[in-house]
A and B are shown apart, each in its own frame.
Chain A
Amino acid sequence: MADNVLVFAEQREGKFRKVALEAVSEGKRLADKLGGELSAAVIGSGVEGIAGSLGAYGAAKVYVVDDPALESYTSDGYAKALCRIIKDTEPSILLMGCTSTGRDLGPKVAARMGTGLAADCTALDVKDGKLVATRPMYAGKVLAEVVCPDATPQIATVRPNVFSVAEPDESLSAEIVKVDAEMSPEELRTRVREVIRAAGATIDLTEAQIIVSGGRGMGGAEKFKILEELAEALGGAVGASRSAVDAGWRDHQFQVGQTGKTVSPVLYIACGISGAIQHLAGMKTSKVIVAVNKDPEAPIFKVADYGIVADLFEVVPILTEEAKKLLAE
């Protein structure tokens, strides 16, 4: 019996999250290596219409559970729906994005199925027909390879912005399979009463491709304005180190680091950030790191691809000016 891959493709407000497409693309690559098929699971309310688009990314089948009770994510609802699809399809591997939903759903399904879970994976492969999941431990100080030798499905959640999204091939199509998971609202033991959007949160840091981040060197909340201008010029988001958050200059939701968010953007510009281990834990897998700091001994320079030892208040406005000029060309 072939080893198949199932990907839970997370949608939000009727649109697939980027990490869902990353997981589907990686799932296809693994399914090909196993000589099996890739299927996707789409769960929500009013989501049937978007399911077909996953065919272009290599899904042979897309299983859809569409029910008003699943409008908002609840662990009871989504675990029931996903486990029903797992029961019907018996995949060897289950993937999903390591988002707030994936971090919630992955463990619940793992416990229900009595199987293994590797969370926040930064690399995946198959060896001898088994998934080998590489994931950071000890705040990224160690990379562990994890396997699930006996139980199925082998579950892995993937870190956003690490895996590539495949070029969609519009000539491919997926078979849509509607699944009735027999949802009933009474079974849901938790209920989302409301969602309070965070002020100033236009794009979540974990999804940003470019991040301009400020640390203790900023010196004040209003000083972050120059970082906002640079971020805007580059089309990025603004982050902060723990020092800046603890000082009350930025909200905790913008904190990058071990006790904040782990980000993996294409470009991370660290301004006035010394580079403590706990901060590096949250950003050192960024593709390119630029550091601006007055202190030549600052540990951040050890991980930076390009470092500028100077006053950030002199440097950052020039970066913004030059970036604007360049992008206008």
Chain B
Amino acid sequence: MICGKEDVMNVVVLVKQVPDTEAKIEVKPGTASIVTETITYVVNPYDEYAVEEALRIKEKLGEGEVTIVGMGPDKATEALRTCLAMGADKAVHLNDDAFAGSDSYAAALALSKALEGLSYDLVLCGKQAVDDDNAAVGIELAELLGIPHVAVVTKIEISEDKTKAVCHREIEGASEVVETSLPAVITAQKGLNEPRYASLKGIMQAKRKPIDAKDAASLGLSAEQVGAQGSRAKIVSMTPPPPRPAGRIVPGEPAEAAREVVKLLRDEAKII
């Protein structure tokens, strides 16, 4: 849905709450899930670039709203408040037990319904969530909304008339300069910007900003269409990665050890 007023850009930012990258991740025995009790949760780092970019766009234009949209359980509210504290205006929280266990498709479907109720010129999100690492939701959402996308972007320039954006997209060994019509979904890569920290004032103000909770029914979705039931891809097992066989410290003086390693690479590992 495009906003009518020319000079205003309303930006929606998708945000996910994920385990801290330092977290020790353990598989819950006998299940295809992880132990969550001991984990610290944070705003997905790639989504922070998206929030920051949205705030910069709003500050540059002087007008427009930044709406944070996130799907998650009750505690995900913390992540939404953090974004509001950074400066976003309002949030929508997709919160329903039925959403649990969503694959990329089911998540994108629910988010697309939430966005149908919003006015936006641009949708930003991180290129991937650091828990599932599937890097798919932003792109799948664009397809379901019927709008274009540009993924893994390190620079965004919005045209004067707000109908186009020129993005720098990271590909192997190069940066592609891609022009897209708007509205579009753009996914953020590290280097897009340096996200700000929420100020104390921002944190206080965030407490009074609205977070609109949506369950599946309010989005016109049945339980079968969302979450684990609505997922097309299902995780059937989780295991820790196989440990690497123990290596060894090659002893001796630096020069000796260096020579020995080159010999081992040839004779033992057989790779040079």
Q: Which residues of A contact B (CB under 8 A)?
A: 75-76, 79, 99-101, 103-104, 106-108, 110-112, 114-120, 132, 135-151, 189-198, 201-204, 206-207, 234, 252-253, 258-260, 266-267, 277-278, 284, 287-290, 296, 301, 303-311, 314-316, 318-319, 322-323, 326-327
Contacts and interface: CB of A to CB of B under 8 A. Distances in A.
Given A111-B143, A267-B265, 10 more contacts: A108-B140, A108-B142, A108-B149, A139-B133, A140-B241, A144-B238, A191-B178, A196-B168, A287-B271, A305-B248
Interface string B229-272: 00111111111110011011110011101110111111001011
Given A145-B235, A301-B249, A196 B261 contact: no
Contacts of B130: 138-139, 258
28 contacts: A100-B171, A107-B135, A108-B149, A110-B232, A111-B105, A111-B140, A117-B105, A117-B134, A119-B135, A137-B238, A140-B241, A142-B27, A150-B232, A189-B181, A189-B184, A190-B179, A198-B173, A234-B272, A258-B130, A266-B271, A267-B269, A267-B271, A277-B21, A290-B265, A306-B247, A307-B249, A310-B253, A314-B254
B174 interface: yes
A319 B262 contact: yes
B153 to A, nearest CB: 11
B239 A142 contact: yes
B149 A315 contact: no
| Chain A interface main SS type | mixed
A305 B134 CA distance: 29
Given A190-B178, A194-B177, A326 B272 contact: yes
Contacts of A120: 133-135
Contacts, number: 255
Given A266-B271, A306-B261, A315 B166 contact: no
A147 B177 contact: no
Nearest to A209: B271
Contacts of A267: 265, 269, 271-272
B238 A142 contact: yes
B133 A137 contact: yes
A252 B191 contact: yes
Query: Chain A CB within 10 Å — which of B27, B133, B231, B233 has the most?
Result: B233
A4 to B, nearest CB: 19
Nearest to A160: B172
Interface string B174-187: 11111111001000
A308 B232 contact: no
Contacts of A259: 45, 190
Nearest to B245: A305
A106 B136 contact: yes
Contact of B233 (A148, A192, A310): A148
Nearest to A291: B247
